[in-house]
């Protein structure tokens, strides 16, 4: 009886111990599960935050795109009114919001603004040239005339070239002479061309002086009574042209000196011709230049002698 009681007590203790151990294990497992679930929540939490942030970013981008589009629309409105500088301002603001979207508008308007600024500068320059021409500045009148030629306003160009010519400009009368000789924008008028060549010669233009000298040589042959006087005037003009750097004039006058035996003066003029020509030429360029103008071959020997100093 006592044994049975004692057995029952041990059995009860064993059962209690087992229950206790199982309970402890269960608590441990439960704790581990709770920790695992907490860890899982901790791992998922950043994903939830990122998702929230992405949503906010999309909202901001959407808002930014709306602002960008509104700025572009305002820029386009100014562009239609040809107020390119103001349009550029709004496109620049749009670029801050979305540079990729605004880039094409920026590039297109930048070109227009550049052209507009260029036109403004040109308009200011033209206005300045007009003021100078009216005040009697021959250079301003000449450059204004060239501008009018570019825009095919021949009448205004002739007016400015004439004004420059009156004020002793050397290039303006030559420009007019060529226009009337060739019929550039005007009817061919050789009488006017000759008049302007003569004005250019008086104003110190080397090309005009040489051309007038050739015209006088032709006139001298037609007028034997005044041939000597006319020839002297032609030679004076040719010397003037040579002194101003006209190569052919220097060669031809050099020939005249060589033909009369003045080889010192001839060589001086041939040297001047050579120096005004390309730097790699030799003194034989003198002969070549004269031969190009149908001077007789035997005359070139005199020039060659003067050139070589022999």
Per-residue pLDDT tens digits for 241-254: 999 988 888 888 88
Average pLDDT of 167-178?
95
Residue 205, SS3 per DSSP = coil
Quote the pLDDT of residue 300: 53
Domain ranges of the chain: 2-122
Look-up of token digits 């602002």: 67
Angle at 156 between CA 151 and CA 157, to 5 degrees: 70
Of 36-50, 108-122, 153-167, 291-305, minimum mean pLDDT range: 36-50
**pLDDT tens-digit profile of 63-90?**
557 888 888 898 899 888 888 888 888 8
By 3-state DSSP, what share of the chain in percent is helix, strand and coil, each rounded to 5?
85, 0, 15
Of the two residues 292 and 163, the one the predictor is more confident about is 163
Task: State the Cα–Cα distance between residues 292 and 205, nearest whole angstrom.
Answer: 23
């Amino acid at each position: 009886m006592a044994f049975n009681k004692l057995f029952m007590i041990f059995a009860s203790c064993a059962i209690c111990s087992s229950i206790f151990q199982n309970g402890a294990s269960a608590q441990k497992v439960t704790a581990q599960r709770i920790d695992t679930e907490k860890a899982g929540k901790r791992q998922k939490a950043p994903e939830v935050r990122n998702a929230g942030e992405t949503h906010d970013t999309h909202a901001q981008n959407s808002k930014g795109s709306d602002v960008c589009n509104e700025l572009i629309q305002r820029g386009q409105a100014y562009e239609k009114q040809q107020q390119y500088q103001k349009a550029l301002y709004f496109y620049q603001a749009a670029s801050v919001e979305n540079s990729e979207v605004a880039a094409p508008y920026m590039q297109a308007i930048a070109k227009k603004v550049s052209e507009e600024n260029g036109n403004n500068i040109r308009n200011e320059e033209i206005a300045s040239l007009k003021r100078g021409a009216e005040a009697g500045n021959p250079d301003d009148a000449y450059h204004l005339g060239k501008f009018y030629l570019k825009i095919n306003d021949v009448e205004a160009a002739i007016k400015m070239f004439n004004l420059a010519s009156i004020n002793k400009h050397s290039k303006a009368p030559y420009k007019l002479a060529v226009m009337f000789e060739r019929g550039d924008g005007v009817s061919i008028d050789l009488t006017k061309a000759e008049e302007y060549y003569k004005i250019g010669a008086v104003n110190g233009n080397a090309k005009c002086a040489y051309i007038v000298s050739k015209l006088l040589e032709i006139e001298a042959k037609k007028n034997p009574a005044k041939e000597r006087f006319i020839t002297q005037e032609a030679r004076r003009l040719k010397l003037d042209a040579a002194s101003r750097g006209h190569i052919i004039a220097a060669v031809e006058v050099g020939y005249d000196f060589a033909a009369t035996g003045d080889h010192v003066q001839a060589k001086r003029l041939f040297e001047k011709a050579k120096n005004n020509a390309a730097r790699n030429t030799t003194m034989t360029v003198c002969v070549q230049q004269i031969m190009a103008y149908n001077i007789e071959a035997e005359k070139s020997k005199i020039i060659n002698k003067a050139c070589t100093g022999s």
